[in-house]
Each structure stands twice: as C-alpha cells, then as structure tokens.
Structure 1
Amino acid sequence: MASTYTRWIYHGEPMEDTMIENTGHRGEQIDFTADVNLNEVEEADPNEKIPDMVRELFTSEAGRRKKSMFAILLEEMKQELYPGAAYSRFSFVVKLLHLKSFYRISNVAFTAFVKLLADAFPHCSIPTSYEEAKKLIRALGLGYNTIHVCPNNCVLFRKNYAAHDVCPVCSASRWKDKDGRKKIPEKVLRHFPLIPRMFASKEISELAQWHKLKRNAVENELNHPTDGEAWKAFDTKYAWFAQDARNIRLGLATDGFNPFGKMNSSYSRWPVFRIPYNFPPWECMEQSKFIMGLLIPGPLCPGTDFDVFLEPLIEELLDLWKGIPTLDALTDKSFDLHAAVIWCIHDYPALSTLSGRVTRGYYACVRCDKDPCSRRIRNKIGASFQGTIHGGKKNGLTERMKDVKS
C-alpha cells in the first residue's frame, strides 16, 4: 500500500469538498469536487509527497532554514540510478545489501561485484565497495555500534576496559589470534542506539500523541494499552511523565533464535527489541515500528550474564528517563523527550534469563515470590497441601490433593 494513501477513496471514503494543494512541481491547486479519473489516480506516483516530507525536516536556526542530515538523506533517496531507471540509487544499494545478506555473500565478494558493476556502467551512480554501500545505511540511522565482549561474558571492553587486551576478571584474551597483526575479537555485541528521530516527521509526531489526544476511550473495554491497569498505575505514580503525551512508553522483548536453521541447537543469538506503545494499536504492532536495541552473540544462551550485555541499553534508557532535547516537527519547538519501559514481553524461561529471578523449584511462582505455597512430594515439587490461591479462596487442586493425602 502506498505510504501516501491518506484518502481512502478505494475503500468507501467519499470525496469531500475540499481544496488540497498539489505536492507536484508546479504548486497548482486541484479541486476534488471536479470529475476525477480513478485510473489516473491509480497511476500517480506514490512518492509525490516526498518533497513535503523533506520540507518537514528543515530546522530553524538563528532565523535561517537549515537542512538536517536526515533531510539530506531523503533527497539522496530521490537520486536516479540513471535517467529513466526503475530504481533510485538508494533503493538499488539497499537491494544489493539485502541480496548479500540473504545469500550470505562475503564482504570481499560483494566489493568485487559492485566494483565490476561500477566499471561496466560508468553512467550509473553505484558504490565501489561494501563500506561505501554501508555509509548510506549508516546515514539513515540503521547502523550499530560494535562492542567487544569477554569470551566468558565477564565484561564489555568499553569505557575503562576499552584498551584492555585481556579480561580483568578471568584473564581470557580479547582476540582470537593474540599474536597476529589483524586482531579479530572473540565475541562482538551489536548495539543499535535509540536516536530521538521519532519527532522529525509531523505524521509520526502526531501518531505518538494519538493515545492521549485522539483516542476515544470506551468504558470497560480494553482497546489500547492505556486502558490497562499497569499504564494507569504508572501515570498515577509519575504524573509529570503523563502530562506530556509525547513521552514514550516502551515494551522490551527478547528471545533466542537459531540463525542457521530451525533444528540447529548448537548456536543461538538473542535480539532485544523496543516497542513504542504510544501509537494506535494498528501501528504499534507493525514490525516496521519495532526498534532493534541489542543483538547478543552466541553460541550459547547468556543466562545469568544477560545483565552484562544489557549495560549499554540500560545507560541509554536512563538518559531517556532524564530527558533528551528533541525538536518536534509538528510544533517546530524543542522539548525534553522522556521514555520509560513499562512492560517486558517474553516467555517464562526468558523471564529467568532477563530478570535473573528463579522460575523453577520452590520459587517458580512469580506472584508468590518469597512466600511460596509449594512442597516437595518425593522427587517432585507441587502445590502445598495447606496452600490457598490468591484472594483467600481455596484451590480445587488443593482440595483434590488433600483427598489423595487422606
């Protein structure tokens, strides 16, 4: 579906008597009350509104209009690969990088391939190396920071340990080949910084405030996370946070997966995603709205060392809690953007990995916590014969176990 399909004329929405400025190059006006050929509308370029999107990303500075880096990149996305090409330069490079990743082409082979293309088609604006191709992706904010990790998951080689070649805890080497000239790290953590670019577009800025400004609440209906008790309790405890609808509520999701096949259990990676819940339900659950935070390397589950890998993410979230100066494109004013994690989404085994709490044995129940109603029966652990469920009412299982005991 075209991203600029804002008037749902093909799904029953009527043509209203409004005058809308054409976003084409002439700047003329179109009267939608006149007869419109729907075939011509279907053939319209869905990127016609790109100039408006670029115009939104201009920032004011001392009375002058100055382009942001993101605006410059969007203009780069409109550059043709060659006159009359079906792909832009940016989309062609993204396609090449996707093929490289999908078919597992090495960096050296990819560089040789794009260099051959650049020599064979000199009139096309094609990058000549893998690094040059990645520069376009980094400018879009899709890059990541590489952080070396101790092979035994003791520490991250950053800040005070950035210059260390051995782990200060277990004395393990940081490099695979200690004596070689080309130092290759044993383990690498990928950190994807959360840049406050969410309010660079007027449309996204408006969506981020939908939950408070445009949502129609219905009593006794749960149609958005704002209707939940957790959201309401958070707003009650931190009223200053709830006053500004632009402050972001995040969900944290993680789980391990096998990148080399479903049946391969010898290697796994752990991605950590951040999900913004300010958007409407049909937007916040879109995969395109998920924000990668960390990509934790394998081959084994980090287990109790998970908190070591979370260090850069936690520091980033603490900065967002204090507030980061951000420009709101909707109002063209600066404000302090705050964010908080109010949910974690994972299965029960991952709960133990992420939080560090016990999820098996006597303390397996999360609600019971330090006062469990469990008892060992031979070599098994089950519910206590004297235990009751929460609220003081006896469990049917407890009653049946009493009958078994008698």
Structure 2
Amino acid sequence: MSIRIGLFYPNFYADHALSGTVADANMPLESFETHRAVARACEDAQFDYVFMADGMAPYGPKTHEARIRDPLLMAPLLAMTVLGETTHLRCITTLHTSWHHPLTIARMGATLDSMSNGRWGINVVTGAGSFGPPLDPEAVGQFDHDQRYQRAAEAMEVMMQAWSGEPLDFAGDYFTVKGQIVAPVPVQKPRPLVVSAGASDAGRAFAGRYADYTFLPGRMAKDELLRRIGDMRNIAVESGRQASDIRVQMHASICVRETAEEAQKYSDWVAENVDLDLVVEYLNAVRAQISTYDDIYTQMGELQMREIGSVSGARKMHGSADAVADEIEMLHREFNADGIVITLPIWSPDEIRQLGALLMPRLAARGIWEPPAERNHGW
C-alpha cells in the first residue's frame, strides 16, 4: 500500500519551532487569502491530507507573547475554508471530547464530511486543551485521565449512532441520548476517519478500539514504536477489527532543498533563532499533560534543547531530496510507518510546492508512494 503524506496544517504561527523570529517570518495567519493559498499549494503538492491541531490555551506566558501558539485558529471552522478551496485534499481536525458534547461534534463532522464529499476526519483528544490549570474546572476538571478516555469512548458511540442517520438510543455513565438530530449523514461509511495519538494504557486501548490512524512521534525508538503499535493492533483484533485497520503516521520536520548544504543553512537558521526560554516553558507544559513524548523529552543540554525548539517531537529530516526520501523509505520499511505527517517551520505556498516538486517524485521512484489520483484519493 502507498504511504500517505500529510501536512501539520498551520492554524498557528510556529507551534513546532519555538522561535518568535520564525513566527514573524510566516504569512498573516488570520486571513482567508493565506489559507486559500496554502490549501491550494497542499493539493498541488499532492499531499493526501492536512492535520489540524487545536487547543484552548498557550503553553505559558512567554509562548503567548511570542505568538507560538496564540492565536490558534479553531480547527473545524478553518477546515471549511481548506475543504472549500480544494477538490481532493482531505482534512483531519482535532476536537476535544472534554469540551464538546458528542452530538455537537457529530453535527460539525457530518457537515464537514457531507459538504466536502467525504474528505473529513476527526482527531479525538480527551484532555482539557490547556497546559496549566483547566480554564473551566467545572466543565473539564472533574475527570481523571482514565475517566476521560472512558468518556471519549462513550462519545464515540454516540457520534457513530448520530452518523448512521437512525434515531439515537444510548445510555451510558457519561451520556444519555434518545431521539433524532437534524444533521446531514456523512459520505464516508460507516463513519468518518478517526485519529488518536494516545500513548497511555487507556489511550492505546481507545486507539485500538476506534482509530484508523495513530500519530506517533518521529523520533521514537524502533522497539518502542513497534511495541506500542503492536499493543494497539492486538486491542483492535480483540475488538473485532483487523490489525491492519490501524495505520501509523509518523511526525517529521522536513526541509528539502536541491543540495544538503542549502538544507543545512536553513536548518541552522531555525536552530539559531530558537528561544531557550520558550523551550523550557514548552517542555514543562507538555510533560505535565501529555504522555506521548515522555520517552523523548528527558533531561537534555543546550544542543538537545535547540533541537526540540526546532522540531518539537518530530523526526528531523533536513537535507537533499534524495536523503529525505531515503529516510522516509527507511521508516516505511523498517518502522512499518504507513505515512508521514510533515511539519514545516516556514509554511509558505512556495515551500509546500517545492517540497512536492522535489520529494514526491523520489518517493514514487522508490515504489513507496503513488499520487493520490492513481488510488482514487482515499485515506
């Protein structure tokens, strides 16, 4: 099967490059024109999908001031612009089951999927979307970690009933719904694509039961990655699914140039402009809330911190097109990666199209990727 290539979509200025300088070098964020241009470039580059993160609060006051994660455009609303500007590009949006009732999510998702002719997917996140105390403790602070996943599982059951178009009849520990809602029926059957990046025992259990894609840090050790995805696939089988129903998407920061020297110059510029105070704030925030990166964000010196500040938890692939294509092929063949979700510190349409022109033909030549048009633009 062809690998899938997606873009970590820029609904923020520089979430994966902790640098005010990099943030300032990007296009105006709050602009329809910007996102129309970026969406068209993604489709021209033959990406399979874009992935939109989301949240409710910055990592802390320093990252807020540097515009690293603030403003953060709300994913399902921005998705309508991206999907409306494209014909085949697919869009995954993050939605927090702690904040949104499953019927609200179901209606939003059904609207996006039906209007895009089946091109929407959901990344289910169970947390509060903030990295300090909950913004609204009464709304999201009353459940512990495992309870949030139990609640998310019930939310999925409610959403799947809603997406069937049949009357709802569900009674659980967290939700009780009965009756009919007014919403379109999604084009995708039996439901839209579901993504989960859960790393804890409860997170892996949720992914094994529901996820089609699981996102994993690109710099995970091979043994740990294979163990984690093996756990999820075993749970999938126990839940009556096929092991192959869960596909691994690995996170990579990519810079492709004609020569390795050109790519290194760009990579050095990003690293030199990393603000270490922002890195410290980011690490403290993420490690306190998200277990996905625990194996990566251990105690480190300045060079390692600049690396984190340049690419977060992604695998760094800054080099010639041939070198980057070789590394992606290695991840596919040795790590069993089914796809790559790309971070671009500078996310201009020109950067996106350059990546498409230089990298995609090389992936095709290696026999690991086919243009979406040759496989009916499927997930």
Normalized against structure 1, the TM-score is what?
0.27
Q: Which protein is richer in helix relative to its size? A: 2
Q: Which has the higher contact order (CA 8 A, sep 6+)?
A: 2
Q: Radius of gyration: which is bigger?
A: 1
